[in-house]
Structure 1
Amino acid sequence: MRGIRGTIITGGCILLTGCNTHQSTLAPFGADAADIRHLFLLMLAGAVVIAVALALLMRHAVRAPEGELGLRGGMRLVLWLGGIIPTILLLGLLVYSLPFMRPRPIAPADLQIAVDGEQFWWRVTYRPAGAAPVETANEIRIPVGRTVAFRLTAADVVHSFWIPGLAGKMDMIPGRTNTLVVRADKAGRYRGQCAEFCGLSHALMALDVIAMEPAAFDAWLADQRRPSTSQGDGARLFAQNGCNACHTVRGAGPAGRIGPDLTHFGSRQTLAAGILPMATANVAAFIRHPEKTKPGVRMPAFPQLTPAEATAIARYLEGLK
C-alpha cells in the first residue's frame, strides 16, 4: 500500500507541474483553444468510462466459473465489444467533432499579422487593412473579440507556432505561408512557444502574447508607428559598433534587416524571445555574450565592449519605448 500511495503522490506531483494559466490549452483565452479543451475533456471522459468498463469485465471474467462462457458467446462478446460498439463510438465522436474543425472565416478588414520564425526568435509584422505595416519582434499583441489571421512562414528551418491558450499548433515552413485564424476572448498576458525542434536553442524560443481591449490595442499599434527618439552615449556606441547593420531603430540611422526590430524594444516585457526579464544587467550581458543565453544564436558576441559600454547600450535600448 505504501508503494501504491507513493506512486499516486509522485504521479500527481508530476501532473501538477504542467498546471498553469499562461501557457496551457486547459486555461484558454481564445475560442479555438476552448474548443480543443472541450474535445479533450470529452475524450478523456469517454476513455475513463471505457477503462472502467474493461476493468469490470476483466474482474467478472476472472471470478466467473470455468466454462460459463462458451465459444459462441465469446465470439458475440468480441464482435460487440471489439467491433460494433467501438465503431459506433468513434463514428459518433467524428460526427460531433467535425464542426469544430471548420476554419474560422476571415474578412478583408480583419487584422493580419505576419510571423516569421528564425533561429531563435520571431519577426512580427502587423498588416492592418488600409494602413502601413508595423514591424516588431518576439512579442505579439492582439485585440480581444476581433478575428486575427496569422500568416506563418520561416526564414531558415521548420518551426512550429503554438500559443496553447489561443489555438492549436501550426508549422512554419520555409518557402510556404500557412494561415492560422484566431480570436481572443479574454485580455491578459500569455506565452507562446516554438513546438518543432529547430536547433540548439529550440527550447529557448518563446514569445509573449498580450491580448488587449480593442481601444487599447488600436492606441498601442498607432504608437508603434512612431520613430525612436532616444539618444545619448548608448546611441553613439550602438552605431559605432555596427549594431544597426543588423537591427532597425526607426528614426536613428540605417535600418538593418538581419536581426529583430528594436524601435520600441524598451516597451517589451522580456528579451531574447521571452527568455529573460527586461533588466539592464540582462540586456548588457546578452549584448556581450548572447551565446551564453542562447547556444547556437546567430547574433555575434561583443566581448570587446567593456561592461560600462554594454550597460550604456542597454540603457539606450531600454529607453526605446
Structure 2
Amino acid sequence: MKGERQTAKGKGQKCGRASRAEYLSIFAFCLLPFAFCVSSLPSSVFAGSQSALEPAGPQSGRIISLWWLMFYVTGAVFLIVMGFLVAALARSRRPRGGASADAPDVRPDAGRERRMSRVVLAGIAGTVVILFVFLVHSFLTGRALDSVAAKDHLTVKVTGHQWWWEVQYDNQTAAYVLTTANEIHIPLGQPVLFKLTSTDVIHSCWVPNLHGKTDLIPGHEAVTWVRADRAGTYRGQCAEFCGHQHAHMAFTVVVEPYEKFKAWYDSQLAPAPQPSTPTQARGQQVFLSSPCVMCHAVRGTDAGARVGPELTHVASRGTIAAGTLENTRGHLAGWVVDSQKIKPGNRMPPNNIEPADLQALLDYLQSLK
C-alpha cells in the first residue's frame, strides 16, 4: 500500500510538472503576436506611402501619438494579466492538513480572500485611470486636428463618385477654378481646407499619412483641415464600402514646394494642347466623334460633359481608373476598349473602335499633358 501511494504521488508530481510546462507554453504562445508586432515595426509598418504610422503632417502626428499611447498601455496590461494568469495556473496545489492531494481545498482562507480583494480593487482602479487617460488624450487630439486652420489657405472640394474622385480647386476668380480627377496636388507646409461630399452613396476619404478618415455623405458637405510638412506622394483610399469596386477607388496626393505646385496649377489651368502631328489630329477627331464626349470634358474642345473624369491633362496623371492602373499606353488602350473587364460595374461602356483609330486616339490622349 505504501508503495502504491508513493507511485501515485510520483505520478501526481509528474502530472503537476507537465501541467506547469503546458501553462508556460500557453503564456509564451500568447506573447508571440505581441513580440511579432513589436519586432516588425521598424521594417514593415512604418514604411510606405499609405501608412498611418509614418505621419507627414501635424494631424496624423497627433493621431499616431494617441495610437502609440494606447498600444503601449494595452500591451503592458496584456502582459500583466498574462503574468497573473500563468502564476495562478502554475502555482502548486499543496494540500493543507489531512486533505487528499486529489481533492480541491475548499476551506475558507481569510488571508487569501483579503489578497484577492486587493487585487480586484487594484484592477478596477487601474482600469478606470487608464480609460480616463485615454478619454482626455482623445479629447485633446480631436481638438488639435483643426489647429492648422488659417485665413490664408487653399480650398479643395472633393466629390466622391462610384468609383472615382472629382477634385476642384476653388477660387474667387472663375478663371482660376481648376477641376481634375483622382490626383490632388497641395503645397508643402500650407494649410488646405478640404470640402467633401458625394453624389451617390457614402464614401470615406482617408490619406493615412496625412489625416484620419472623413465620410462623404450625399447632400452634406464635410470639412477637414490638412497640412503636409513632408514632401512626397501619398496614397488615399475610400475607406467606406461603397459598392462592387470599392477597393479600386483610390487617389494620389502629391505634396510639393509652393513653386512646383504653382507651376503645376498654372499648367493645369491651360486648355488642352492642340494636336502636333497628323496622327494626334486624327485621334482628336476620333475622340470628338465617339461616345467619349457624352461623359468627359477636354477644355479647348467641344467636349464639355461632366459625367466622368475631366481629361484635359489626363496624360500628366500617374494612374488611370482611380488608382487602379498605371497610366501607360497599354493600360489606357485596355481601359478605353473595355473598362468592364478591368473594373466591372463602372459607368464607362465598352467602345468598339477600329485598331487604327484606337492607336490614333491613344496618341491624342497621351499628348494631353
Q: Same fold (TM over 0.5)?
A: yes
Q: Matches of 1:230 and 1:189 in 2, distance apart?
A: 30
Q: Matches of 2:126 and 2:177 in 1, distance apart?
A: 54
Checking the alignment, whether the CA contact within 8 Å between 1:35 and 1:100 is kept in structure 2 is yes
Q: CA deviation at 1:162?
A: 0.6
Which structure has more RCO (C-alpha within 8 Å, separation ≥ 6)? 1
Q: Which of 115, 128, 139 is residue 73 of structure 1 equivalent to?
A: 115
Q: CA deviation at 1:148?
A: 0.4
| 1:241 maps onto 2:285 in alignment | no
Structure 1 or 2, whichever has the larger Rg, is 2
Q: Which of 264, 267, 272 is residue 313 of structure 2 equivalent to?
A: 264
Checking the alignment, whether the CA contact within 8 Å between 2:60 and 2:211 is kept in structure 1 is yes
2:88 corresponds to which residue? 61
Q: CA deviation at 1:242?
A: 2.9
RMSD of aligned alpha carbons: 2.6
Q: Matches of 2:336 and 2:110 in 1, distance apart?
A: 77
1:149 corresponds to which residue? 193
| Pair 250,54 (structure 1): closer, same or farther in 2 beyond 3 Å | same
Q: CA deviation at 1:19?
A: 5.9
| Pair 214,86 (structure 1): closer, same or farther in 2 beyond 3 Å | same
Q: Which runs of 5+ in 2 are unaligned?
A: 1-24, 95-108, 276-280
Q: CA deviation at 1:150?
A: 0.8
Q: Matches of 1:238 and 1:95 in 2, distance apart?
A: 58
Give CA-to-partner distance per residue, 1:145-164, whole Å, 9 cap, x none. Answer: 00001100011111110111
Q: Matches of 2:148 and 2:61 in 1, distance apart?
A: 17
Checking the alignment, whether the CA contact within 8 Å between 2:318 and 2:326 is kept in structure 1 is yes
Letter in 1 for 2:264: W
Equivalenced residue count is 316
Letter in 2 for 1:240: S
Give CA-to-partner distance per residue, 1:201-241, whole Å, 9 cap, x none. Answer: 11011111111111111121122110012321110000111
1:91 corresponds to which residue? 132
SS of 1:70's equivalent in the other structure is helix
Give CA-to-partner distance per residue, 1:61-100, whole Å, 9 cap, x none. Answer: 332766585333322321221x211111211232233222
Checking the alignment, whether the CA contact within 8 Å between 2:329 and 2:362 is kept in structure 1 is yes
The percentage of aligned residue pairs carrying the same residue is: 38
Q: Matches of 2:298 and 2:179 in 1, distance apart?
A: 11
| 1:281 maps onto 2:330 in alignment | yes
2:64 corresponds to which residue? 37
1:159 corresponds to which residue? 203
Letter in 1 for 2:284: A
Bigger mean CA deviation after superposition, 63-72 or 31-40: 63-72
Q: Matches of 2:147 and 2:212 in 1, distance apart?
A: 13
SS of 1:211's equivalent in the other structure is strand
| Pair 44,85 (structure 1): closer, same or farther in 2 beyond 3 Å | same
Bigger mean CA deviation after superposition, 46-55 or 143-152: 46-55
TM-score (norm 2): 0.79
Q: Matches of 2:119 and 2:216 in 1, distance apart?
A: 47
1:24 corresponds to which residue? 51
